[in-house]
Structure 1
Amino acid sequence: MSRWFQHPCSKSASRFILFALQIAVLASANDWTLLSPQGNAGARSGHTMVWDTDEDDGGFWLFGGGNSNNNKLYFYNAASNKWTQKALGPAVQTRPAARYGHSAVWDPTARTMYVFAGTTADSAGNTFDDLHRYDVQLDSFSELTGTAGRSMHTAVWDSTSDRMIVFGGLDDMLNKLDSLAEYDRATDSWSSPAAVGPVARDGHVAVWDPATGSMLMCCGASSAATLSDLWSYNGAWSQLAPSGSITARSYASAVWDPQAGALLGFAGSGGSKLNSLFLYSASANSWSEYTETGPPALNRGAVAWDPVNGRLYAFGGYDENQGLLDSLWRLDASHTSMASTSSSTSAPETATTTTTTLTTSTVSSTDHAKHGFINLHILYLYDCVCHISRRNESHNYI
């Protein structure tokens, strides 16, 4: 007769392993690579990027941004390292007006991108209230039903309910917002949920966690301070209290890594411009932050996540001298993606190998705190693995 033993880490061990592997990869030096793609999308800030797994074996769609407030659409092909301008010819007339500070979300089922609102200037009276959908197959935009305008907000795509969830930002008079707006794809209509939650803000980040069916939102700027708080929304708001901390920041960018169950963010402004990475592990309920050699300190850039190869792409933004950037960087975190394909029986071996690599490496003084955090997580994993191994020697399990 088989029986189960419940170790405290058993439910989340695999997620912890993925998170630890992700941190281990990000912690190694020189993980950022400056790319030199064919073509040129042009320097910009306040633009949007969404990843499309199916187009040309994977790449991201780039729209808009502050560079004469352009409204050009580009696709970056990761395999060929090439920019290609899209929505040309007659489709040019369908493109949304030039803007920045807008939002864009990707509907993977319909293979469409939704572009909402934004602005043309950092002054009152220039805010858009329109919604546009880009259809990859048609290579053209169509305008849908809009709602009250805003800029510097966030939007995520709820893949469970086929809806877009918008939060915060600035209204047309530059008042900070704490309101939600939800767009329903099936009915082409908007609703305004009355949910009490975070303080009004702009320049925050938000991602969708399909595993829990919730939006994670953090950071930004309120009327009183730059923020680092973290909230979850799934019809109601809940403030989370993770261990660890990150630098309060606004105008950063972030993605969701579904394999590791983690929010991965980059850069922003926190007193001065930043170039640090920050991660939130949902299973560990924990923050971590560190800086690697790579992109300069910047804000108002954009990032996209390649879930197949475990890579983060960062493009554009403002540097410390308010210069517009046109550089494209890639952070290779492929071990995360590789680990996600491993079975549960192979996870202990992977975790042990990672622990050996980290504990035998030479850690510089500047990386001491970062590697200390990593090793705490790895040692916890190692303890879990050893406990499970000892358990299996004494009992029979299904």
Structure 2
Amino acid sequence: MALKEPDILLLCSFEKNVTPKEFVRVSSEENQETFSCELKGRISSRKQICIYTDKSWSKKHELIEIYVIKGKSNKQKLCTLTAENSCFQWSKSKSSREQLKLLCSEKVALEAVVVCAAMDKNTDCNESFELSKMTEVTGSPNMRTINENTPFAESHPNITPKAPKVSMKRPRDVDVTPNPKARRQRVAMRALALKNLTPPSKLMGRDSLTSSPGHRFDVEDPLVQLFDQTNGKPTRCVDLSSRVPKPSSRWGHTMTHVSSELAVLIGGQGDKSLSKDSIWFLHPEMRTWKCPEVAVEGIKPEYRIGHTATYDPTMRCIYVYGGSKNAKWFHDVHMFDLDERKWTLVKAEGKAPTRAYHSSTLHRHELWIFGGVFPCPDPQPDGCDNEIHIFCPVEQSWYKPIVMGEKPRPRSGHSATLINDILVVFGGWDFPYCYNDLFLLDLTTVEWSEPKVLGKPPKPRSWHASVALANNRVFIHGGYDGDNPLHDAHIFDYYNKTWQELVVENAPSPRAGHSCLRLDSDYENTEEDEVIVFGGGDNDGQYFSDMLSFYVPHEPKIVEITE
């Protein structure tokens, strides 16, 4: 933006009778100034966006360039505002396949390709425009009379700055013994984790496992059609299994991403016995495995399945918590020092819950534990949990936070993926339900919410793999649907709250209990994410040791919705 004097206003209006938003100067150089505008709410629900100039346009003002930024690096010019053409409008059509959002950044950033359309004071605000291309306003004869105000808001009150948001700090509560209000399972989860590790789908019929009641989605919603696109690039799957040496076949293990040069695989079970080669190092960039020599200090963790392994970059260590082995359940915490390559048992204060098939997330140097299965005295079946427990490595103590909002139902085998400060929890199992619902946990306020999600959700499943991708998306692959293993792949767009099923070329064998990680941005191209998947098992006693690489485009080809 080449504005030499600040006497011209750049405004954005998105609804009738609503005060326009003023662009704020975020940077200034000798011959260039940069402005940004932040709009709250769901931009996708608005029918139009109009950016325009107010007050007089001096000859000293050369031009104002508006840009579109797709993803983080793909910058395209949207339009140019001049004295003759000082306004542009975006209007959503019913067949639109993209959404518009203004972000506060160094540039005016839009997360979709939008249309600049000529409009004047007599323009119908409900007029639809094609969204398949990008056009510029310059040269439009209808725009030459619009220099000072918006076409549908000729005057507006003074714009007042928004009040600062009050931060809510997470309160701590005293250590409390977990109150097992979880729904009891009719079949013993021990059979899954201990003896022959038969998944729940073998223990009950498919009809007894249904999606959670109350799930909300509407395939008839216009915004569902928005993501029903088939013109993107398909997701590719490449088999890297020929590379040796490699770990033995297994499922129920963990693969913790440390850096572009290191990921650590721990535990698991294969061929009805726990994996003896319990720890392996993966070089993600080179896609090569190495079995390290690990020193023993204190108590080395026993072989286990259904545990979690969480990396702490501050301490340069991995915390292994929970899991099960034969008739034994764990609530211990072991620390694996990555520099010294040795194990240490952490003696923590407070009530440590006994859990397996739970989730663990590092946030602000603490481990947040959610859900999982816990043992109960015979003849009672084991139960599932929906509580939050926090382990603080600095103080080496356990405690329970005060939680707000309606909690998800008790579950195990779910996924919990961190997007900024929001934990995205999906799926899981607790008899008689296999879930495909989605909940969000704000870790700054410790408040649960169940958003209204658009698009067709994945089938109900548990023991699937998940990882965060670029542009605040969550990748979901595989799992058990209650009867058979799955091989489908899905994307959850956090900002748009929308599900997409990916078209996958060379899809691998159906599996569950596998692990995945996303390569660091230094080793991904500008058009796709690379996700590495290892191991897993099917429903017939077969376990895998293959390593797969999924290339997920930023604009993927989506399975067409037929319902």
Fold-level similarity (TM above 0.5): yes
CA distance in 1, matches of 2:268, 2:231: 31
| Cα gap change, 1:27 to 1:75, in 2 (>3 Å) | same
CA contact 1:36–1:81 (8 Å) conserved in 2: no
CA spacing shift, 1:142–1:25, aligned 2, 3 Å? farther
Q: Does 1:317 align with 2:324?
A: no
Residue 188 (str. 1) matches residue 396 (str. 2)? yes
Cα distance, 1:32–1:92 mapped onto 2, change above 3 Å: farther
Whole-angstrom distance in 1 between the partners of 2:232 and 2:324: 35
C-alpha offsets along residues 190-210 of structure 1, whole Å, 9 cap, x if unaligned? 112353501111111111112
Residue number in structure 2 paired with 1:379: none
What is the number of residues matched between the two proteins?
A: 329
CA shift in 2, pair 1:267/1:291, >3 Å: farther
2:313 aligned with 1:108: yes
CA offsets, 1:340-398, max 9 Å, x none?
xxxxxxxxxxxxxx79xx7xxxxxxxx7617x99xxxxxxxxxxxxxxxxxxxxxxxxx
Specify the alignment match of 2:485 in structure 1: 273
Structure 1 31/303 Cα, relative in aligned 2: closer, same or farther at 3 Å? same
Partner of 1:395: none
Paired with 2:9 and 2:520, the residues of 1 have a C-alpha distance of: 37
CA-to-partner distance for each residue in 1:235-256, whole Å, 9 max, x for gaps?
Answer: 1211122101221111111111
Q: 1:297 corresponds to which letter in structure 2?
A: P
Aligned to 1:48: 254
Aligned counterpart for 2:514 among listed residues 280, 290, 301? 301
Distance 1:50 1:15, change over 3 A: farther
With normalisation by structure 2, the TM-score equals 0.54
Matched position secondary structure for 1:151: coil
In the TM superposition, 1:239-254 aligns within 5 A as 239-244=450-455, 245-254=457-466
Q: Greater RCO between the two (CA within 8 Å, min separation 6)?
A: 1
Alpha carbons of structure 1 residues 223 and 314: separation in structure 2 relative to 1, 3 Å: same
In 1, the alpha carbon distance for the partners of 2:336 and 2:232 equals: 33
Q: Cα–Cα, structure 1 residues 79 and 128, in superposed 2: closer, same or farther, change >3 Å?
A: same
Structure 1: unaligned runs, 5 residues or longer = 337-353, 359-366, 374-398
Which residue does the alignment assign to 1:346?
Answer: none
- Normalising to structure 1: TM-score of the pair? 0.75
Distance change (3 Å), C-alpha of 1:187 and 1:296: same
Please point out which of 431, 448, 451 is paired with 1:237.
448
Secondary structure class of the residue paired with 1:201: coil
Shift of residue 16 of structure 1? 5.7
Mapping of residues 128-139 of structure 1, within 5 Å: 128-139=330-341
- Pick one of 198, 202, 215 that aligns with 2:412: 202
Structure 2 residue aligned with 1:392? none
Counterparts of 2:559 and 2:500, CA distance in 1: 13
Question: Could you tell me the percent identity over the aligned residues?
Answer: 19
* Alignment correspondent of 2:238: 32
Distance 1:24-1:75 versus aligned 2 partners, 3 A rule: farther
- 2:473 pairs with 1:262: yes
**Is this contact kept in 2: 1:303–1:312, CA < 8 A?**
yes
Which of 263, 274, 277 is matched with 1:60 structurally? 263
Q: Which residue of 2 aligns with 1:349?
A: none
SS at match of 1:219: strand
Greater per-residue strand proportion: 2
Q: Which residue is 1:369 aligned to?
A: 560
Match of 1:163 in 2: 366
Q: Choose between structure 1 and 2: higher helix proportion.
A: 1
Secondary structure at the aligned position of 1:86 is classed as: coil
Helix, strand or coil for the counterpart of 1:221?
strand
The one-letter code matched in structure 2 to 1:305 is: R
What's the CA shift string for 1:78-130, capped at 9, x where partnerless?
Answer: 23321111243x33875311000011112233322111100013xxx521010
Q: Partner of 1:79 in structure 2? A: 285
Shift of 1:6: 5.2
Structure 1 stretches of at least 4 aligned residues deviating more than 6 Å after TM superposition: 23-26
CA RMSD after TM alignment = 2.8
Judged with a 3 Å threshold, the aligned counterparts in structure 2 of structure 1 residues 27 and 109 are, in CA distance, closer, same or farther, namely farther
**Alpha-carbon displacement from aligned partner over 1:149-183 (angstroms, at most 9, x marks no partner):** 1101111111xx21111111111222111111111
State yes or no: 1:5 paired with 2:207: no
Q: Quote the residue 1:149 is aligned against.
A: 354
Q: Which runs of 5+ in 2 are unaligned?
A: 1-7, 15-42, 44-99, 104-108, 114-225, 377-381
